[in-house]
Amino acid sequence: MTALAKVNDPEIKRPITELGMVDAVDISAGDGGAEVLVKALLTVAGCPLKDTITRDVTAAVSAIPGVVRVGVELGVMSAEQRQGLHETLRGGQAQREIPFAQPGNLTKVFAIASGKGGVGKSSVTVNLALALARQGRKVGLVDADVYGHSVPAMLGVADARPTQVEDLIMPVPTASGVSVISIGMLKPRRDQVVAWRGPMLDRALVQMLSDVYWGALDVLLLDLPPGTGDIAISMGQHLPGAEVVVVTTPQEAAAEVAERAGTMASMMHQRVVGVVENMSYYLHTNPDGSQEKLEIFGSGGGERVAATLSQRFGYDVPVLGRIPIDVALREGGDAGRPIVEAAPDSPAARELAGIAERLGGRGRGLAGLQLGLTPTSKF
């Protein structure tokens, strides 16, 4: 049992021994040592992660001196056992509570916003999540982009459906260690359109925050839909302590709408922690080997948004980083292997890792707390 306590359920990320998943351990004398048969119980039949559990259990028990053979037999929890697991996971907590909004919660929550679509908000969110995980943090990612919900595909789990234990939903684990839940996963079918009005979107957001078992996270990232719509308002109401990162391109038109998205966050009493300028330039290599920065979308958008928001809010809103245009970034997203993992030494990946470090290193001081003030300036 001590050896098995080192095996975590890949979705719930807690030891299988704590979760009541070890049904029986049969030990018999074999040729040259002990033969062990572990009977483990899965939360649902056809659990997509049974190979992972089998492999991890085998490795953990094989490491015990004297064990010569390990077998794993998988069963499925009974309704009663699932209820027991559900209670363990809820930990006595009342239902429909958002853990990230409770006093004393230690998870840093960052919402990634943009004025309009196509500026790379989802790409930035996914890469920041992976970079934070690579820096040793436990990261959860909520894809609340009703229009795009492209995050699962970018993480290589486009067709994954979350496992459910009673009314608790398990976020989908990814190879990078980041757990993800997407508004797209709440639809019955992948090709279905999300044609929801405000109250329905609000319920979906609350569900992704309170009905999903996130466990202890260091950082939770939310990929918001572009603009200043219903989800942004719901997010402000349900997660007043969340901090907002605004993504823009250098282009004037993008910067202007990004300022509005930032101002919206402030109206919801959320702090804007900085601006990420994406698609800032393209690093072109000349025939002689020298490199130059081609500013394809113009320049200055990030600085402009940062300066405007700093002036409007009366606190410093810095530019957190400038990410170049990189074909590898686009390809990594399309292939489900984001650039911070596929090409960590590329300039774009380094910039993203730098931004992640700045965000991850932020303390949760007074600066992040809401004061309940609303800016009086026009937006």
251 lines the binding site for ligand ADP (CB under 6 A): no
Distance CA 361, CA 379 (A): 31
User: How far, in whole angstroms, is CA 147 from its chain's centroid?
Assistant: 18
Cα atoms in the Cβ-side hemisphere of radius 13 Å centred on 20: 15
Is the CB of residue 340 less than 8 Å from the CB of residue 293? no
- Return the DSSP state at 224: P
Q: For the stretch 274-287, what's the b/e string if a residue is b when 16 or more beta carbons lie within 10 angstroms of its beta carbon? A: bbbbbbbbeeeeee
Is the CB of residue 201 less than 8 Å from the CB of residue 224? no
* SS3 state of residue 163: coil
**In the complex, minimum distance from the CB of residue 343 to ligand ADP, in angstroms, rounded to a whole number:** 12
**In the complex, minimum distance from the CB of residue 154 to ligand ADP, in angstroms, rounded to a whole number:** 8
Q: Which residues pair with 220 in a beta bridge?
A: 109, 140
**In the complex, minimum distance from the CB of residue 123 to ligand ADP, in angstroms, rounded to a whole number:** 3
**In the complex, minimum distance from the CB of residue 48 to ligand ADP, in angstroms, rounded to a whole number:** 26
148 lines the binding site for ligand ADP (CB under 6 A): yes
Q: What is the largest CA-CA distance in the chain?
A: 80
User: Taking contact as CB under 6 A, which single stretch among the options 120-128, 168-176, 185-193, 289-297 is the one that binds ligand ADP?
Assistant: 120-128
* SS3 state of residue 25: strand
Applying CB under 6 A, among 60, 77, 119, 153 the residue interacting with ligand ADP is: 119
227 lines the binding site for ligand ADP (CB under 6 A): no
346 lines the binding site for ligand ADP (CB under 6 A): no
Considering beta carbons, is residue 108 or 116 the nearer one to ligand ADP? 116
Considering beta carbons, is residue 9 or 326 the nearer one to ligand ADP? 326
Applying CB under 6 A, among 43, 122, 176, 179 the residue interacting with ligand ADP is: 122
Judging by beta carbons within 10 Å of its beta carbon (0-12, 13-18, 19+), is residue 196 exposed, middle or buried? middle
x/- string (CB under 6 A) for ligand ADP, residues 295-334? ----------------------------x-xx--xx--x-
339 lines the binding site for ligand ADP (CB under 6 A): no
Considering beta carbons, is residue 48 or 117 the nearer one to ligand ADP? 117
**In the complex, minimum distance from the CB of residue 333 to ligand ADP, in angstroms, rounded to a whole number:** 4
Residue 282's nearest CA partner among 344, 225, 347, 338 is: 347
**In the complex, minimum distance from the CB of residue 127 to ligand ADP, in angstroms, rounded to a whole number:** 9
**In the complex, minimum distance from the CB of residue 278 to ligand ADP, in angstroms, rounded to a whole number:** 5
CA angle 47, 62, 59 (to 5 degrees): 40
**Which residues in 156-195 contact ligand ADP (CB under 6 A)?**
none
x/- string (CB under 6 A) for ligand ADP, residues 266-285? ------------xx------
Cα atoms in the Cβ-side hemisphere of radius 13 Å centred on 343: 15
Number of Cβ within 10 Å of residue 167's Cβ equals: 11
* SS3 state of residue 230: helix
User: Taking contact as CB under 6 A, which single stretch among the options 73-81, 110-118, 211-219, 302-310 is the one that binds ligand ADP?
Assistant: 110-118
- By beta-carbon distance, which residue lies closest to ligand ADP? 120
Binding site for ligand ADP (CB under 6 A): 114, 117-123, 148, 150, 278-279, 323, 325-326, 329-330, 333, 348
